[in-house]
């Protein structure tokens, strides 16, 4: 098979299997859809449309957000504001609802725009405030994009399921659960201004018989509080700090909120969230939902002839690589960390620029992927010298490029767009190795606290949206010291192909996949050791990043003559047959553990195909040669053919047997990994 044909199979053919429709995964129940419809009707359609002079309340107890305006709580001030409500169909799967409140006295207009999904029990919304008056508004503060009780069963406990964020550790994305006890408050926030540092901004409030999943879309410093009271589980979430007045003509927005309602156990809620994200938030490439790619990562600070050697051998051996990834240090004068802000190609490494690389890879249908870090500017670099008015400086070595400045954002958009064209990039990789929160806080006047963060985050979205509009073939890799900026908004525009800077260790990778897959369907991590099936399978995910480069003690060296190309081709092509299954429903089959004497296993299920797979890992200190795991979501009376991808032959079991008695798995190697696929028999 030629390279063009192979690349096509790794994208277009896979797209057919993992397309935009959600009918191939967990299906909402009528009761779930009814609960979501009732919630939307009460909040967006059931409020009284009253004029203040009528003396009636323009908002009732169904209010689901809050703020303080001129020292008065929103529940009080909104009674005096005029309300207009509207609804319109966006398409067959989405209905838009809007609530518009106007304060005739100051000219402040609040507009809450929600989207009700008709194919899932889900609703999202964003709130904007606009000053239509002639003077600055009074202080607007403590804005909570959600402030409402969630449904809670009267019987049994309520448990908050959440996950740690990314801090470059073994613990990244580790699942957490906290019982919501009466009169206790659980407060969570990332801490440094990047949305998934410390805490992932996705939550599941599980009750006996069902619950609600909440996702936060804000790529800055959000905060969330959960508590239990007699009326249910109270949740508040929004930016961590807002205390500001708006100038005439100025507007601002809140974080985006998404609620997903579900019945039965929490994993039904997790999989409904996964499918909502895959159906409505997945990035698009050339207008089609993204199929997360296979990338080959390399170090940018290596000579052009070495990169050409890699590219030529990838093409020669017909490896199904979508993007050839060059990471940092291809630019500037010094180390990668101190050269950000000097984006000139290093002529000592690339005397003819990237044209030889582009010419070598493009005919095969593959593309280049290149690392940038434009938001961090090191002092002394050209950007620091030439654009100081566009930088936020608090006295450290690094400055923050101010994406909230329209001129700075336009310059950056045009600059990166030009590089995408010049270098022939198919994937733009954006890193962010600094904590922006103190820069934003230092830039804010006392009566404008939160505005620098708001403008920067809005600017980030506008920057990415414009790049994607100008380059429909482009995809964006979202890296912020690993996965420290993963949230609902970034998930819709980008994918974390390097989800953590944590340990490059097989067990760590298993643990990271176990935790993150519950919330974020698309991601990748590093796979470093060629020829090692255990390492490779420990890193397999919905996307794949292989880092099979040879560096020794310095820059990369050419691939050795004994590089296992046959193994690489066979293993990558086998992965492509499994990749569509990652877009189905996810079920852990063993407890989360970092112990090296344990097993770990999970299941991905595609009921539309009647297919799925089990991945199981026996770690290096485990004395157990076998384990038994109980599968989920199969048809009890159907028969399933099970195949170990490493062995000939197959076995057959009923869905009832696989769910009740379990699947026995044997792994002789220590460590070792197996993949067992299943297919419903006709």
Q: What is the DSSP string of 134-158?
A: SS----EEEEESEEEEEP--SSS--
Tell which of 251, 280, 309 closes a domain.
280
Domain stops at, among 280, 310, 327: 280
Q: Which CA distances in Å does 221 have to 27, 87, 110, 180, 535?
A: 34, 31, 22, 23, 35
Which pLDDT score is estimated for 155? 63
pLDDT beneath 70: ranges in the chain: 1-24, 47-62, 152-155, 552-553
Mean pLDDT of the chain: 93
In a domain, 509, yes or no: no
- What's this model's pTM, rounded to 2 decimal places? 0.95
Measured CA to CA, the distance from residue 223 to residue 233 in angstroms comes to: 16
Say which residues have a Cβ less than 8 Å from residue 246's Cβ, sequence separation at least 6: 108, 129, 130, 131, 136, 137, 140, 252
Neighbours of 2 (CB within 10 A): 11
Cα–Cα distance measured from residue 294 to residue 486, given in angstroms and rounded to the nearest whole number: 20
User: Domain for residue 51, yes or no?
Assistant: yes
Three-class secondary structure assignment of 246-284 = CCCCCEEECCEEEEEEEECCHHHHHHHHHHHHHHHCCCE
Domain assignment present for residue 344? The answer is no
For 23-45, the pLDDT digits (tens) are: 457 899 999 999 999 999 999 99
Is the distance from CB of 239 to CB of 255 less than 8 angstroms? yes
In a domain, 669, yes or no: yes
pLDDT of residue 385: 98
Q: Name the token pair of 474.
A: 């482009």
CATH number for the domain harbouring residue 615: 2.60.40.1180
pLDDT at 31: 96
Residue 244: CATH number of its domain? 2.70.98.60
State the Cα–Cα distance between residues 316 and 307, nearest whole angstrom. Answer: 14
Examine residue 516 and state whether it is found in any structural domain, yes or no. Answer: no
How much is the pLDDT for 61?
A: 40
In a domain, 297, yes or no: no
Domain boundary among 252, 280, 308: 280
Domain membership of residue 603 (yes or no) is yes
Counts of helices then strands in the chain (DSSP H, E): 16, 39
Predicted pLDDT of residue 47? 57
Supply the range of the domain harboring residue 106.
30-280
- ∠ Cα 234 239 244 (to 5°): 120
Residue 596 included in any domain? yes
pLDDT of residue 13: 40
Concatenate the DSSP letters of all residues of 454-517 into one string.
Answer: HHHHHHHHHHHHHHHHH-TT-EEEE-BTBBSS-SHHHHTT-B-SS-BSS---HHHHHHHHHHHT
Each residue of 357-373: b (16+ CB within 10 Å) or e? bbebbeebbbbbbbbbb
């Amino acid at each position: 098979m030629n390279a063009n044909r192979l690349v096509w199979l790794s994208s277009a053919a896979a797209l057919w299997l993992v397309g935009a429709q959600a009918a191939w995964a967990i299906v909402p129940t009528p009761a779930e859809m009814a609960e979501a419809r009732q919630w939307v009707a009460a909040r967006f359609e059931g409020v009284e449309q009253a004029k203040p002079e009528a003396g009636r309340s323009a908002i009732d107890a169904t209010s689901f957000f809050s703020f303080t305006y001129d020292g008065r709580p929103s529940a009080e001030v909104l009674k005096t504001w005029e309300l207009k409500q509207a609804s319109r169909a966006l398409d067959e799967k989405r209905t838009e609802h809007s609530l518009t409140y106007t304060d005739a006295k100051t000219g402040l207009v609040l507009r809450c725009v929600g989207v009700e999904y008709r194919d899932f029990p889900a609703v999202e919304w964003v709130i904007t405030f606009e000053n239509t008056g002639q003077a600055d508004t009074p202080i607007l503060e403590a804005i909570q994009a959600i402030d409402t009780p969630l449904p809670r069963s009267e019987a049994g406990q309520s448990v908050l399921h959440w996950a740690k964020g990314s801090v470059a550790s073994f613990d990244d994305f580790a699942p957490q659960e906290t019982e919501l006890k009466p009169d206790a408050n659980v407060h969570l926030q990332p801490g440094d201004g990047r949305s998934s540092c410390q805490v992932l901004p996705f939550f599941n409030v599980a009750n006996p018989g069902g619950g609600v999943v909440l996702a936060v879309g804000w790529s800055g410093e959000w905060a969330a509080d959960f508590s239990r009271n007699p009326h249910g589980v109270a949740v508040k979430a929004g930016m961590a700090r807002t205390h500001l007045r708006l100038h005439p003509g100025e507007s601002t927005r809140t974080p985006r909120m998404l609620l997903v309602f579900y019945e039965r156990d929490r994993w039904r809620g997790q999989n409904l969230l996964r499918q909502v994200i895959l159906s409505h938030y997945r990035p698009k490439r050339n207008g089609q939902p993204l199929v997360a790619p296979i990338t080959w990562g390399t170090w940018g600070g290596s000579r052009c002839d070495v990169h050409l050697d890699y590219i030529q051998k990838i093409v020669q051996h017909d490896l199904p690589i979508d993007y050839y990834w060059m990471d940092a240090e291809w630019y500037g004068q010094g180390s990668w960390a101190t050269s950000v802000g000097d984006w000139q190609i290093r002529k000592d490494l690339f005397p003819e620029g990237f044209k030889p690389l582009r010419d070598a890879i493009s005919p095969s249908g593959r593309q280049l992927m290149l690392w940038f870090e434009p938001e961090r500017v090191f002092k002394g670099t050209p950007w620091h010298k030439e654009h100081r008015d566009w930088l936020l400086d608090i006295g450290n070595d690094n400055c923050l490029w101010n994406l909230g400045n329209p001129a700075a954002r336009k310059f950056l958009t045009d600059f990166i767009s030009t590089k995408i064209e010049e270098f022939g990039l198919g994937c733009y990789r954006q890193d962010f190795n600094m904590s922006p929160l103190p820069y934003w806080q230092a830039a804010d006047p006392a009566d404008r606290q939160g505005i620098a963060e708001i403008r920067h985050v809005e600017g980030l979205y506008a920057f990415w949206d414009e790049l994607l509009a100008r380059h429909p073939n482009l995809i964006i890799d979202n890296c912020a010291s690993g996965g420290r900026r993963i949230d609902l908004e970034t998930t819709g525009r980008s994918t974390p192909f390097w989800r953590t800077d944590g340990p490059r260790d097989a067990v760590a990778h298993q643990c990271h996949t176990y935790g993150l897959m519950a919330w974020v369907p698309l991601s990748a991590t590093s796979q470093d050791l060629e020829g090692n099936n255990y390492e490779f399978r420990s890193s397999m995910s919905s996307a794949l990043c292989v880092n099979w480069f040879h560096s020794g003690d310095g820059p990369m060296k050419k691939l050795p003559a004994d590089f296992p190309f046959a193994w690489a081709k066979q293993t990558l092509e086998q992965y492509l047959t499994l990749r569509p299954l990652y877009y189905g429903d996810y079920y852990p089959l063993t407890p989360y553990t970092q112990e090296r004497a344990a097993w770990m296993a999970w299941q991905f299920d595609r009921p539309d195909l009647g297919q799925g797979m089990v991945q199981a890992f026996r770690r290096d200190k485990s004395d157990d040669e076998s384990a038994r795991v109980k599968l989920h979501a199969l048809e009890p009376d159907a028969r399933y053919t099970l195949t170990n991808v490493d062995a000939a032959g197959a076995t057959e079991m009923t869905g009832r047997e696989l769910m009740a008695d379990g699947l026995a798995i044997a792994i002789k190697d220590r460590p070792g990994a197996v993949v067992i696929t299943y297919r419903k028999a006709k």
